[in-house]
C-alpha cells in the first residue's frame, strides 16, 4: 500500500476518533450541567453529533499535514491548523445549529471560547505526546 495513502488513512481515523470523543465529552458535560434527567437527545441529534464531529475532526487532522512543511515556523503552522480546523468546526456548528445564534452575542462568544479551549488543550496534548516520542527516539538513536 502506498505510504501517503496509509498516512492519510491514519489522519482520517485519528480525526474521526478525536472529533467523536470531544463531541461525546461535550454532550456529557452538557447533560451533567443541566441534569441528565432534564436532557433528551433525539436520534437526529445523535446522528448529527456523530457525523458533525467526524467532519470537524477531519478539519483539524487533515490540516495537521502543515507540520510536514519543515520550512514553516511552528507558530505559523499552529495558526494555519487552528484557522482551518476552527473554520470547519464553526461552519458545522452553524449548519447543525450547535452554536446558539438566536440568543445574542454572549452565548456565541462563550461557545467560541469553549471551542478554542478544547482545541488548545487537545493540540497541547498531541504536541507533548509527539515531543516525548521524538525525544525517546532520539535517545535510542544516540545509544546505538
Torsion sign (Cα): 59, 61, 65, 67? positive
Q: Has residue 144 got a pLDDT over 80?
A: no
- Amino acid 111: pLDDT: 86
**Cβ-contact 82, 123 below 8 angstroms:** yes
**Cell numbers that stand for 19 in this block:** 472529533
- Residue 126 pLDDT class (50, 70, 90 cuts): confident
Whole-number mean pLDDT of the chain?
90
CB 63 within 8 A of CB 85: yes
For every residue of 15-82, DSSP letters joined together read: HHHHHHHHHHHHHHHHHHHH-GGG----HHHHHHHHHHHHHHHHHHHHGGGGGG-TTS-HHHHHHHHH
Asked whether residue 1 carries a pLDDT value surpassing 80, the answer given is: no
pLDDT tens sequence across 24-57: 988 888 889 888 788 888 889 899 999 999 999 9
Report pTM: 0.81
Amino acid at each position: 500500500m502506498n505510504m501517503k495513502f496509509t498516512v492519510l488513512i491514519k489522519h482520517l481515523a485519528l480525526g474521526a476518533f478525536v472529533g467523536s470523543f470531544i463531541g461525546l465529552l461535550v454532550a456529557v458535560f452538557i447533560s451533567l450541567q443541566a441534569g441528565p434527567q432534564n436532557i433528551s437527545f433525539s436520534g437526529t441529534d445523535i446522528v448529527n453529533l456523530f457525523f458533525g464531529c467526524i467532519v470537524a475532526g477531519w478539519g483539524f487532522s487533515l490540516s495537521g499535514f502543515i507540520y510536514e512543511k519543515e520550512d514553516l515556523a511552528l507558530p505559523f503552522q499552529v495558526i494555519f491548523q487552528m484557522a482551518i480546523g476552527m473554520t470547519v468546526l464553526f461552519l458545522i456548528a452553524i449548519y447543525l445549529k450547535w452554536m446558539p445564534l438566536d440568543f445574542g452575542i454572549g452565548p456565541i462568544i462563550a461557545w467560541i471560547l469553549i471551542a478554542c479551549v478544547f482545541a488548545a488543550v487537545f493540540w497541547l496534548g498531541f504536541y507533548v505526546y509527539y515531543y516525548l516520542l521524538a525525544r525517546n527516539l532520539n535517545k535510542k538513536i544516540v545509544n546505538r
